[in-house]
């Protein structure tokens, strides 16, 4: 097995007892990227030399006995939606092509403080809008398990990077499922934290009331370790919550006593792929075998979640993306006759189809005369969805469900039909609307070898219990140990 496919905790151990060096590990990851990323498409920027230099400097400091950070020497890949002062940041868009930001996102600062090696920026749907990474202006990301299928999205590059062994850890963002769904399609662990747990400072905004930054790893312990580094208060983000960060990794071995799991019958209705249903049911049996109590819960408003999300998210996006006007930010076209035409031609040339669609949807929903009927109504529905969860979490510790209705789909299968693509987000978006933490963990494979994830959601700021519940399943299974084959056509 290549070094970068080992779980992060094993690699940290090897680095600290001198069995390997950060430079060796970084070279191993770079070699994997060189061999396979042409077919996978996980990276938009690979930080070869700067990663080597960072690794060497950490190795020197280790040799000199200096104190080192929590992730010392470990290569970490970062979604291209987080600004980095020494690496370009495009958000998967022509609008920002060629831009290197003058500062670091809070989470990128945290990675540097933890002595991680930033190995590159990962591919994503343009401005994080999408579920397949096919909306990237720079080509799609494929799941390393089957190269004619998508990696999921919008953080497809980060999920694929961990799955392929390009980096043991990666960072993504999740507005409506963009960490959990690609984690499911790529067979890795991906966690969306509670809203406010991780600072959004330097995360390029899509829908600010929903966006959260979170970890990808090969196992639950790796996700816990990275979450510990990313989480914490930051006064530069007004929604960042000032609560201590629990030592998520410390209690993972401890099962949740008398674990109560809620399942919502609506999550198992029409449109759910039978192999996904089977995987979720098998996972529930595993939990039952461990003594968990699995009970039905009601989420009466969850059937409105897709409609609600696709009003709230585009509305916020239309406002957030107004800044890309060719003057304040972004690409300016020379092809114009006057100011208004300069705005519209710049935006027309540099934004992709899906981004334009969201801007139009959002502008319409917020416009005078329609605001009450669409945006305001959606906010009221959002509150009802939140209340459903508060009631459910009075009776259960976690809610289990599929992550997505199907395993990874073929390239092109969803792009022609935006409505189908939106509907496929049905299981993930309510957690964002309600601000709850959620995780996708490997739970099986389809017969033709595509990974299937299990989603667990928990009450706000109970990531510690969520991770412990996830670890209980992981200890009983070996899905997370399987490695991808890079099979299929990279056509």
The footprint of ligand GLN (CB under 6 A) covers 128-131, 154, 174-178, 206, 313, 425
Given the complex with ligand GLN, which of 21 and 315 has the nearer CB atom? 315
Are 165 and 5 in contact by the 8 Å Cβ rule? The answer is yes
Beta strands 75-79 and 146-150, pairing class: unpaired
CB of 161 to ligand GLN, least distance (A): 17
Given the complex with ligand GLN, which of 43 and 206 has the nearer CB atom? 206
Given the complex with ligand GLN, which of 48 and 418 has the nearer CB atom? 418
Q: From the candidates 9, 22, 79, 199, which is the catalytic residue?
A: 79
CB of 460 to ligand GLN, least distance (A): 18
Residue 79 falls in the annotated catalytic set: yes
CB of 175 to ligand GLN, least distance (A): 4
Given the complex with ligand GLN, which of 355 and 472 has the nearer CB atom? 355
Given the complex with ligand GLN, which of 20 and 415 has the nearer CB atom? 415
Q: From the candidates 22, 178, 199, 318, which is the catalytic residue?
A: 178
CB of 178 to ligand GLN, least distance (A): 3
Residue 377 falls in the annotated catalytic set: no
CB of 129 to ligand GLN, least distance (A): 5
Residue 154 falls in the annotated catalytic set: yes
What positions carry a catalytic annotation?
Answer: 79, 154, 178
């Amino acid at each position: 097995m290549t070094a970068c496919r080992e779980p992060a905790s094993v690699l940290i151990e090897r680095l600290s007892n001198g069995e390997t060096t950060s430079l060796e590990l970084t070279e191993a990851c770079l070699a994997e990227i060189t061999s396979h990323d042409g077919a996978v498409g996980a990276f938009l920027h690979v930080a070869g030399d700067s990663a080597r230099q960072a690794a060497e400097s950490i190795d020197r400091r280790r040799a000199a006995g200096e104190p080192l950070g929590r992730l010392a020497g470990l290569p970490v890949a970062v979604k291209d939606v987080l600004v980095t002062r020494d690496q370009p940041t495009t958000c998967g868009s022509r609008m920002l092509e060629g831009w290197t930001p003058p500062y670091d996102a809070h989470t990128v600062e945290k990675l540097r403080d933890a002595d991680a090696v930033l190995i590159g920026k990962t591919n994503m749907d343009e401005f994080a809008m999408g579920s397949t990474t096919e909306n990237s202006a720079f080509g799609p990301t494929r799941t390393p398990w089957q190269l004619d299928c998508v990696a999921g999205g919008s953080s497809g590059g980060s999920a694929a990077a961990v799955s392929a062994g390009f980096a043991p850890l990666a960072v993504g963002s999740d507005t409506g499922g963009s960490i959990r769904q690609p984690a499911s399609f790529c067979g890795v662990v991906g966690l969306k934290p509670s809203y406010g747990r991780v600072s959004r400072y330097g995360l390029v905004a899509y829908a600010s009331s929903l966006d959260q930054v979170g970890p990808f790893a090969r196992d639950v312990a790796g996700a816990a370790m990275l979450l510990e580094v990313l989480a914490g208060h930051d006064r530069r983000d007004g929604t960042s919550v000032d609560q201590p960060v629990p030592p998520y990794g410390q209690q993972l071995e401890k099962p949740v006593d008398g674990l109560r799991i809620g399942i919502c019958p609506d999550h198992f209705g029409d449109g759910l792929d039978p192999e996904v249903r089977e995987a979720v049911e098998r996972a529930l049996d595993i939990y039952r075998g461990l003594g968990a109590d699995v009970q039905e819960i009601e989420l009466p408003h969850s059937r409105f979640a897709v409609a609600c999300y696709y009003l709230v998210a585009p509305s916020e996006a239309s406002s957030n993306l107004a800044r890309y006007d060719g003057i304040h930010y972004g690409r300016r076209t020379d092809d114009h006759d006057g100011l208004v035409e300069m705005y519209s031609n710049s935006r027309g040339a540099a934004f992709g189809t899906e981004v334009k669609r969201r801007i139009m949807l959002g502008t319409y929903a917020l416009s005078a005369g329609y605001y009450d009927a669409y945006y305001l109504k959606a906010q009221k529905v959002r509150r009802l969805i939140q209340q459903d969860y508060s009631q459910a979490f009075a009776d259960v510790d976690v809610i289990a469900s599929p992550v997505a209705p199907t395993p990874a789909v073929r390239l092109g299968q969803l792009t022609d039909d935006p409505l189908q693509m939106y509907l496929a987000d049905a299981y993930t978006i309510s957690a964002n609307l309600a601000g709850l933490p959620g995780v996708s963990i490997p739970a099986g494979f389809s017969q033709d070898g595509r990974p299937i994830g299990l989603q667990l959601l928990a009450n706000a700021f109970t990531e510690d219990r969520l991770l412990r519940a996830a670890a209980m399943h992981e200890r009983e299974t070996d899905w997370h140990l399987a490695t991808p084959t890079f099979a299929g056509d990279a056509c």
